[in-house]
């Protein structure tokens, strides 16, 4: 059984972890890019999303709000990235993160991680990949 979870807005203290996991989680999707190109480009892309109204939500254990089990970057147009720590995958946490939002199906996603690719393959009508 998954312990009680609280989904809350991200804070400034969460940003280093969010950037780190986003940058590393997407790195494999751009194997032909040099690190010296990828990291500045992806940081700018993330910054642009946040500057134009994308929202970050974080899932934390109820008793330890500084711990991040998962985070979600989304806007009205799409889910930009959803990250769940490996130890908490397949627990329903990603579904719980998305449950509070009225997002159209198929769910538009702007980033395709290996996990998202596997979900898209298994459920082709669930996700629609539309990169920015």
What is the pLDDT, as a whole number, of residue 3?
Answer: 66
pLDDT given at position 2: 57
Q: Which CATH number fits domain 5-102: 1.10.940.10, 3.40.50.880, 3.40.630.30, 3.40.50.170?
A: 3.40.630.30
Quick one: pLDDT at residue 115?
Answer: 82
Q: Among candidates 113, 132, 119, 118, which has minimal Cα distance to 21?
A: 113
Say if CB 72 and CB 103 are below 8 A apart.
no
Domain extent listing, the chain: 5-102
**pLDDT reported for residue 54:** 87
Per-residue model confidence (pLDDT) at position 13? 94
Give the integer Cα–Cα distance in Å for 48 and 3: 34
pTM value?
Answer: 0.88
The β-bridge relationship of strands 107-109 and 127-129 is: parallel
Sequential pLDDT tens for the chain (132 residues): 556 889 999 999 999 999 999 999 999 889 999 999 999 999 999 999 988 888 999 999 988 888 999 999 998 888 999 999 999 988 888 888 888 666 777 888 998 888 888 888 888 888 889 987
β 79-84/127-129 pair status: unpaired
Cβ contact 130:100 at 8 Å: no
Which 3-state string (H, E, C) describes the chain? Answer: CCCCEEEEECCHHHHHHHHHHHHHHHHCCCCCCCHHHHHHHHHHHHHHHHHCCCEEEEEEECCCCCCCCEEEEECCCCEEEEEECHHHCCCCHHHHHHHCCCCCCCEEECCCCHHHHHHHHHCCCCEEECCC
């Amino acid at each position: 059984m998954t312990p009680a979870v609280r989904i809350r807005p991200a804070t400034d203290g969460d940003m280093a972890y969010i950037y780190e996991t986003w940058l590393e989680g997407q790195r494999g999707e751009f194997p032909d890019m040099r690190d010296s190109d990828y990291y500045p480009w992806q940081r700018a892309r993330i910054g642009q999303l946040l500057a134009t109204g994308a929202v970050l939500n974080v899932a934390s254990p109820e008793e330890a709000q500084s711990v991040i089990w998962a985070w979600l970057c989304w806007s009205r147009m799409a889910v930009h990235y959803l990250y769940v720590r490996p130890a908490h995958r397949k627990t329903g946490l990603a579904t719980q993160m998305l449950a509070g939002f009225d997002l159209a199906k198929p769910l538009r996603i702007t980033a395709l991680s290996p996990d998202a690719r596997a979900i898209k393959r298994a459920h082709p009508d669930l996700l629609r990949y539309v990169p920015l």
